[in-house]
Amino acid sequence: MTTQDDINRAKSLVRLCSAVIDCVEEIGDNDGIGAPGGHLYASLMSVLGCSYEQFEQIMTLCVASGRVAKRGHCYFPTEK
């Protein structure tokens, strides 16, 4: 059974992924290097207390959205 808490958590996750994708789109293609995963992780860890496993799950969802691609340890915006 889906509760209102479940719905709120899902909405929060969508907003978080959207913010991460916006960040990757803004900084990830400026110099062709991409947005370093370590920097993204450090930001999420310091601001939200995100664990590495949580970071990996968030970035997997961002890549699965098709708006972000991962190459090596960096993330790049994809063509929309």
Residue 26 tokens read as 């803004």
* Span 18-57, pLDDT tens digits: 999 999 988 866 667 889 999 999 999 999 999 999 999 9
Q: State which residues form the domain around 57.
A: 4-77
- CATH number for 48: 1.10.10
CA distances from 47 to 40, 65, 77 (A): 11, 23, 23
pTM of the model: 0.85
* Span 2-16, pLDDT tens digits: 899 989 999 999 999
Write down the pLDDT at residue 33: 83
